[in-house]
Amino acid sequence: MAVASALVASLGAAACDEGGGGDDLAAVALAGGDLTIFDRSSNAFRMPAPNLSDEEARRHLDGDAAFEAAFVTAPAPVHAGLGPGFNHFSCTGCHPRDGRGMAVAGSDTLLSPLLVRVSLAPGAGDPAYPGGPVPVPGLGTQIQDHAVYGQAPEASVALTWDEVPGEYADGTPYTLRRPRLDIRLPDGSPLGDEVLTSPRIPSPVFGLGLLEAVPEAALEAAADPDDADGDGISGRVNRVWNPRVGAMTVGRFGWKANTADLAAQTAGAYLNDMGVSSQYAPDDDGSWELADDVVADTTFYVQTLAVPAPHDLGGADVARGERAFRQMGCDGCHTPTLETGPHEIGALAGQRFHPYTDLLLHDMGEGLADGRPDGEADGREWRTSPLWGLGLTQTVLPGATYLHDGRARTVSEAILWHGGEAEPAREAFRTADLRTRAALLAFLQSR
């Protein structure tokens, strides 16, 4: 820790030379608090937290093996239970190197990391669980576009893109893209107009234990659903069903904060993505296939992944970009710093860390709207995504894309899609001069 402290001090001195923002940059050098590692390689998202005990480190390795396990059709001596419908056969298939997944779908490939969530309008039937979306008969709430031998996939998914031209205030043109889905049932017919759809790419899984350990009270205190402070930002919590405790709790995981904790997130992924049932996501008859300790170990693995430190914090462009980040109002939702409370995993407790998210729902405008409610989140609301590790995205998975459906090919495109509560920040970026835009991107790429 002495080396890390010296590094923080040197970064602070370098950044302060730029005049303004230096203290902030130095403070966020330890992005994950005591869970920070100084690794900018392609494996940076896959490393265990450095503050684990020997026993915790061994359990982390057990969870790592479970996370990488490839499921197969039963009967089988190990990892049985795949299907009958599925999107992929392993956790790493959707989260390569524990990072985000690609915007790829289709029955003609073994890789379908892009998922399509489906539901009917609220009130059109009974929800899948208390407060949840209304499942589509024959499809549930997620299309499984692959199936085991002898079974037909629920539907086929074809993804194409429509171009959306635009330009910066200085006349520089850009082209965005919007996804277009063609979903066909086994008989070749399209989905009915009554079905709400929402394509989603998988998110990185590192640092999630810290986000889980932020007290609910802190999230509720940060929420401003009626914009009482008049800043144009009205973040609010999503309240969702938590199968682990059998009650409604604050959601914090998923693109719409529709999952309460990592145990529920893990169980849901096993069932919806791989067709493998477990204690918190059982089969319709209440039984399940996956041993409880496997789900627990996988959850522990995700909870105890390290957070890579940012880099180049002393660079002039990074310091200038950090100031632009604040001046444009980006930190109104991408809150730099959070703190954890007590947690059953001691390594997560009492940490001050810097994810650049408030974990709240925000209206992001019609351009990003999917029109599909989830819990208390409406069709225009999305949870603020963390920005830590953003600069490692292309190192971990070259060609990876951004936003909930992977429409943004670059960070600039992701910013330009912001609307709703984030429209003033987007316009501040779009109308800024080239040097300021470049500095902001340098800051984001330093995360």
| Per-residue pLDDT tens digits of the chain, which is 447 residues long | 443 444 444 444 444 443 334 445 566 789 999 999 999 999 999 999 999 999 999 999 999 999 999 999 998 889 999 999 999 999 999 999 999 998 887 656 555 689 999 999 999 999 999 999 999 999 999 999 999 999 999 999 999 999 999 999 999 999 999 999 999 999 999 999 999 999 999 999 999 999 999 999 999 999 999 999 999 999 999 999 999 999 999 999 999 999 999 999 999 999 999 999 999 999 989 999 999 999 999 999 999 999 999 999 989 999 999 999 999 999 999 999 999 999 999 999 999 999 999 999 999 999 999 999 999 999 999 999 999 999 999 999 999 999 999 999 999 999 999 999 999 999 999 999 999 999 999 999 999
Q: Which residue type, as a one-letter code, is found at position 399?
A: G
Q: How many domains is the chain built from?
A: 1
Contact 52, 104 (CB under 8 A): no
Joined together, the tokens standing for residue 265 give: 């997130």
In Å, what is the CA distance from 349 to each residue of 27, 119, 339, 344? 19, 37, 9, 8
Note down the domain range covering 157.
Answer: 2-445
Using CA of residue 90, residue 96, residue 101, residue 104, what is the dihedral sign?
Answer: negative
pTM: 0.93
